[in-house]
Structure 1
Amino acid sequence: MKVLTIAIPCYNSASYMERAIESLLVGSDDIEILIINDGSKDNTAIIADEYEKKYPNIIRAIHKENGGHGDAVNTGLKYATGMYYKVLDSDDWFDKKSFIKVLDVLRSMANKPEPIDMLITNYVYEKVSIGKSKSINYKSAMPEERIFTWDDIGDFKISQNILMHSVIYRTEILRNCNLELPKHTFYVDNIFVFKPLPYVKTMYYINVDLYRYFIGREDQSVNEKIMIGRIDQQIKVTKIMIDLYDPTQIESKKLRKYMTQYLTMMMTVSTVLLLKSNTVENLNKKDELWNYLRSKNKNLYEEVNKTLLGKLMQMDTFIGKKIILSGYSLSKKIYVFN
């Protein structure tokens, strides 16, 4: 069995996918790289096949009809043979020194009678166009370089949500929770991270900047204008996560608090984008989303409403909206996202 499977979903990625692939090749035969060609119309398939031919013991090219990012992740999980599973988007890359250290830890965990369920590392926003980068770490929330449980974690800052960029799951955990992301839907990486959390019992945090998250392409899904244009998909994902989670079924108070914080973040993102668009239709969608949360999961609504962000997001006054949008602009400058 391979120690780690890295799936690289690719759609028309020919101009940048090689950087992602090359950043992984320091992993030797302990890793498996699955290049998932999601119905690309450029030379992605050719590049994938060339890499498979060159590194037959490490790389496998998988070609499929277009189903979107989530479906590519599903395909990677279906074919994964590694004990652990990681997703690397085709326009991003790994820091090679950090990757070597991560693999050393995963190798040692693979030999334990009870291997850890989740490994967390830092990730870095790389806004190349303006020469800025911002590392997001978890050192104030998690013990470093030891096995721990949810009871050992501290408080997560708003910036410290565990994202697809920072998480490596044990493959069996993802399969046991019946993870299957919806097709032709953006922002499903949130479901990927969120759904398995109650199945996770043991964790390990390494304070290294492994994942380099490229920000700046005009067609990128996290581009603000594109996010507003795809707001229905953001709302769809948020509703799926609401349906997945019942805080009364989570025994660990700290896990419950974290998952509620994550849902609050999702509600916040949707609310901010709907307010920024400032159309009557989208303002109505904001109210409908909060009504959905209230009607579908009253316990969760009450938990979210206890948080400062939850209270702020429901302020319908002019001043309230001003506070929300000003806070968003400040966060954008600090954390260099979008």
Structure 2
Amino acid sequence: MKEKLITFAVPCYNSQDYMQRCLRSLMAGGEEVEIIVIDDGSTDRTGEIADRYAKKYPETVRAVHQKNGGHGAGVNKGLSLAAGEYFKVVDSDDWLDEEDLKKLLTEIRKRKRQGALADLIICNYLYDHLYEGKQKRMGYENVFRDGKVCTWDTIGKFHPSQYLVMHAQICRTEVLRRSGVRLPRHTFYVDNLFANQPLPFVKTILYLDLDLYHYFLGREDQSVNEQVLMKRIDQQILVTKMVSGCADLKQVQKEHPKLADYLVRNLSIMMSISSIHLLLIGTEEAMEKRNELWEYMRRRGNGLYRKLRFGTVSGFTYLPGKAGTALTLAGYRLAKQCYHFN
């Protein structure tokens, strides 16, 4: 059996209609990749499809069946079993570019021979509106130099729309485990926690200018769908609070100021998402939740509230009065039109 360079964890719940597109793209990596398909208590043919792939490709695919615990439980299981040098989560409705996957593996193989593996690899990703025939590319050329290893102290400046989301990250398995990241069960939006908690444990970063990950948009039941997100707003709020406490920002600020600034910016966009969708809900209860969330950040201390309220974009989502609400929602609609994020 070949040494596994990457473990791909594919959490699946009732994914029979689209999971094979995902798995076929990962199979392009051959026997240097490990694919762990986690059937999270599905009630359709998901488990059967996973078993079929595992039987046909025993050197590459492993099927795991567990009681339903949500996306986070699937990620946790995949990480606990991973044998690959690197670990990456691929959602079952997403897929990878097969040629870019081969290029990624070639680079990892070369650097492993040289003893020069980076803790974190960053690649580009695409918002893929497959049914509409539209794509939006999210790259990082302005932040990192292609093919060069850097540290948090030598990175460039992120644009307002740039974040190191889970789709862009391929992290060393040992770094993830050292970070202690563990996702809550039965909770959506936990990818934000998975993408942020390990970052202070990352010492070296390699950027590869590959459009690797296709993030599918278009399903009506998708978690980033506006109406779905509004229904699950309590889970979005919970994860936002968890992300605010997943790193000691004061310590990170001392060691890596650029990383601390990034973490605050990321939390700012999560605060913006929560605030805006509570405004869209518009009920008295929603307004109370919005105020409570901001008060929670105030109680965290260390100047976090002031940074979020007055130093980042989230402050523009907490403007007073009806005029403030109208301005916030107008800005949101414009951003949605420009970036096609749901």
Is the CA contact (8 Å cut-off) linking 1:143 and 1:152 kept in structure 2?
A: no
Match of 2:303? 299
Is the CA contact (8 Å cut-off) linking 2:193 and 2:246 kept in structure 1?
A: no
User: Partners of 1:158 and 1:296 in 2: how far apart?
Assistant: 24
Residue 308 of structure 1 deviates from its aligned partner by 3.9
Match of 1:54? 56
User: Partners of 1:260 and 1:48 in 2: how far apart?
Assistant: 39
Residue 76 of structure 1 deviates from its aligned partner by 0.2
User: Partners of 2:303 and 2:249 in 1: how far apart?
Assistant: 7
Q: Does 1:221 align with 2:188?
A: no
Please give the secondary structure, in 1, of the residue aligned with 2:28. Answer: helix
Match of 2:72? 70
Match of 1:265 among 266, 269, 278: 269
Give, as a single letter, the amino acid of the residue that structure 1 aligns with 2:9.
Answer: A
Match of 2:200? 198
User: Partners of 1:298 and 1:151 in 2: how far apart?
Assistant: 22
Residue 98 of structure 1 deviates from its aligned partner by 1.1
TM-score, length-scaled by structure 2: 0.96
Change (3 A) 1:298 1:313: farther
User: Partners of 1:110 and 1:318 in 2: how far apart?
Assistant: 57
Describe the superposition over 1:246-297 as per-residue Cα deviations: whole angstroms up to 9, x where unpaired. 3211111100110110010110110010011111100110110000000023
Describe the superposition over 1:308-329 as per-residue Cα deviations: whole angstroms up to 9, x where unpaired. 4133122112222222111211
Q: How does 1:225-244 map to 2 (within 5 A)?
A: 225-244=227-246
Supply the RMSD in Å over aligned alpha carbons.
Answer: 1.2
Is the CA contact (8 Å cut-off) linking 2:265 and 2:312 kept in structure 1?
A: no
Which structure 1 residue ranges, 4+ long, deviate > 4 Å from structure 2? Answer: none
Match of 2:25 among 20, 23, 42: 23
Match of 1:152? 154
Residue 114 of structure 1 deviates from its aligned partner by 4.8
Is the CA contact (8 Å cut-off) linking 2:4 and 2:83 kept in structure 1?
A: yes
Give, as a single letter, the amino acid of the residue that structure 1 aligns with 2:272.
Answer: T
**Residue range with higher mean Cα deviation, 185-194 or 308-317:** 308-317
Unaligned runs of 5+ in 1: none
Q: Does 1:119 align with 2:148?
A: no
Unaligned runs of 5+ in 2: none
User: Partners of 2:281 and 2:112 in 1: how far apart?
Assistant: 48
**Residue range with higher mean Cα deviation, 316-325 or 209-218:** 316-325
**Residue range with higher mean Cα deviation, 21-30 or 180-189:** 21-30
Q: How does 1:35-50 map to 2 (within 5 A)?
A: 35-50=37-52
User: Partners of 2:207 and 2:55 in 1: how far apart?
Assistant: 35
User: Partners of 2:102 and 2:330 in 1: how far apart?
Assistant: 41
Is the CA contact (8 Å cut-off) linking 1:9 and 1:35 kept in structure 2?
A: yes
Q: Does 1:309 align with 2:301?
A: no
User: Partners of 1:322 and 1:142 in 2: how far apart?
Assistant: 37
Describe the superposition over 1:155-213 as per-residue Cα deviations: whole angstroms up to 9, x where unpaired. 11121101111100100011001111000000000000010010001001111111001
Match of 1:3 among 2, 5, 23: 5
Please give the secondary structure, in 1, of the residue aligned with 2:167. Answer: coil
Is the CA contact (8 Å cut-off) linking 1:17 and 1:91 kept in structure 2?
A: yes
User: Partners of 1:105 and 1:300 in 2: how far apart?
Assistant: 39
TM-score, length-scaled by structure 1: 0.97
Q: Does 1:289 align with 2:293?
A: yes
Match of 1:133 among 135, 140, 160: 135
User: Partners of 2:34 and 2:112 in 1: how far apart?
Assistant: 15
Is the CA contact (8 Å cut-off) linking 1:70 and 1:188 kept in structure 2?
A: yes
Match of 1:323? 327
How many pairs does the alignment contain? 338
Describe the superposition over 1:215-238 as per-residue Cα deviations: whole angstroms up to 9, x where unpaired. 011111111101000000000000
Match of 2:172? 170
**Residue range with higher mean Cα deviation, 166-175 or 239-248:** 239-248
Describe the superposition over 1:101-144 as per-residue Cα deviations: whole angstroms up to 9, x where unpaired. 11111212333435211001111111123221101011112221
**Residue range with higher mean Cα deviation, 70-79 or 235-244:** 235-244
Give, as a single letter, the amino acid of the residue that structure 2 aligns with 1:228.
Answer: M
Match of 1:82? 84
**Residue range with higher mean Cα deviation, 215-224 or 113-122:** 113-122
